Structure 1
């Protein structure tokens, strides 16, 4: 009886998971299906679930008439820079809060983590004024600099560094290693899974960020993919196939990045939460 009930509950859980997966994946599948249609098929009635025949004309039109290559370059440069700098700053800050002793450390840590409670939108005006005063409007620096501070990344790194046995730090000090060398030769290698997890999440967030690039850029040549997609829609009007094709091309890199590094992300968060040694 217990075995039968267990199988029933397991089957029910599997069915629920498949149903939720379909609900999550349906908009993505519909976007791909629409992108593979001609403009006539995209608005034809009655509605068809699959393109017949499938065509790449929408993708060809976006690539030929849009500025997709430049937007890809801008997104790649800014997202990679934001990811690398964010990880470096977060690791340095977390190591100081976790392993070093200095006056006011706890107060400074709480002040720093208070940044989690401040919405990004509340900082838009002062950040734009600062970037404008620095002359970084319509530049990579203007897009990158306001996005490189991540209190949550510091918190995650610190949580992991706190779990590292104190003896490792003391042994490295006895061997004559300085704090800088201990961080990059001991703590960072040990936190590889956490680093990958934070890196992928940061990269995806930076790639998908629309609001700040919209505020800081006015030149089409400096637009990133999310912002450029709005220009595609404005330029093409209600051309659903091309709009969906642009959306698919814009989201493809982050989807591939997550699929490739999915195991790293999962292991990283398990390690950071102490569920995996």
Structure 2
């Protein structure tokens, strides 16, 4: 008696006109619902200060300084604070200064950090462990401690009151070197060994194999470095005295009134400084999440 054979149906090939197969929706479990509720609660907590700053920025100075806390001002909303900020300061110039200095810091930091991280991950050389120890130890050094030595260094190089005085001291990020090094450690060495057998040089392996595989973490590092450079106030404030070189955080602090604290104007200045970063996050949030998820820190 012949044994019946079981045959699997041939997989259907979908064309451009064929309907797409819908993926089954994930079931809402108790844990998933709890995670959504917690995430929504945290999002609301984060949005409340931002909403309050926005509402205050569109108030008159009288309503903003009133002792009674109200979301809806009696005099109504007005863009007077934003107009005042633009009249008293050179917002376009300050924004441009912040943009190109932050972009330069990000680009140089990526090049230096990636090269150092690759050397620490793939090349054996004398003093490697000592160098790695110094890099890890330097992460815990507070940046304000280095301000005086960096200032004298820039002064000796005649770079004070130049854009390079803002850029160069901010291109060394030991934390970014450590993160990239841990990511490079996870890339299989077999890929490099195959490339070496094909006659590829170390530089070609780095540029054509390692970097393309590291796009998520490189994007995350670039965004974090850009945000840090954009928000940096103390060092650009110390390194430059020329009004044409002021970055946006420093320039906005020069807009002060002789009548005390102007709450609406201060909130308007803070929103103007944060707006570019919000736009960057909205456009690159996937890269940020993917980069953080693949930093390679799980095993450390």
Q: TM-score, normalised by structure 1?
A: 0.90
5 Å-filtered alignment, 1:173-212, equals 173-212=196-235
Shift of 1:156: 0.9
Matched residues in 1 for 2:196 and 2:32: separation? 52
1:17 aligns with 2:39: yes
Q: How does 1:177-256 map to 2 (within 5 A)?
A: 177-234=200-257, 237-256=260-279
Match of 1:72 in 2: 95
Q: State which structure, 1 or 2, has the greater radius of gyration over its C-alpha atoms.
A: 2
Q: Give the CA deviation at 1:197.
A: 0.4
Which protein has the bigger helix share? 1
Q: Structure 1 CA distance, aligned partners of 2:294 and 2:187?
A: 11
Structure 1: where are the runs of 5+ without partners? 1-5
Equivalent of 2:71 in 18, 24, 49: 49
The answer for the alignment partner of 2:61 in structure 1 is 39
Give CA-to-partner distance per residue, 1:88-142, whole Å, 9 cap, x none.
1011001111111222222222223221122211111111000011111111100
Structure 2 partner of 1:3 = none
- 1:180-231 residue CA offsets vs partner (Å, 9 max, x unmatched): 1111111011000000000001100110111111221222222211112211
Q: 1:10 to 1:178 in 2, by over 3 A?
A: closer
- CA separation in 2, counterparts of 1:265 and 1:9? 25
Determine if contact 2:179/2:297 at 8 Å carries over to the other structure.
no
Structure 2 Cα separation of the partners of residues 165 and 9 of structure 1: 35
Matching residue of 2:50: 28
Aligned partners of 2:260 and 2:92: how far apart in 1? 21
CA offset digits 1:49-77 (Å, max 9, x no partner): 03553222221221122121111111111
2:130 maps to which of 104, 107, 117: 107
Aligned length in residues: 270
Partners of 1:100 and 1:236 in 2: CA distance: 61
Tell me how far apart the structure 2 counterparts of residues 259 and 113 of structure 1 sit (CA, whole Å).
32
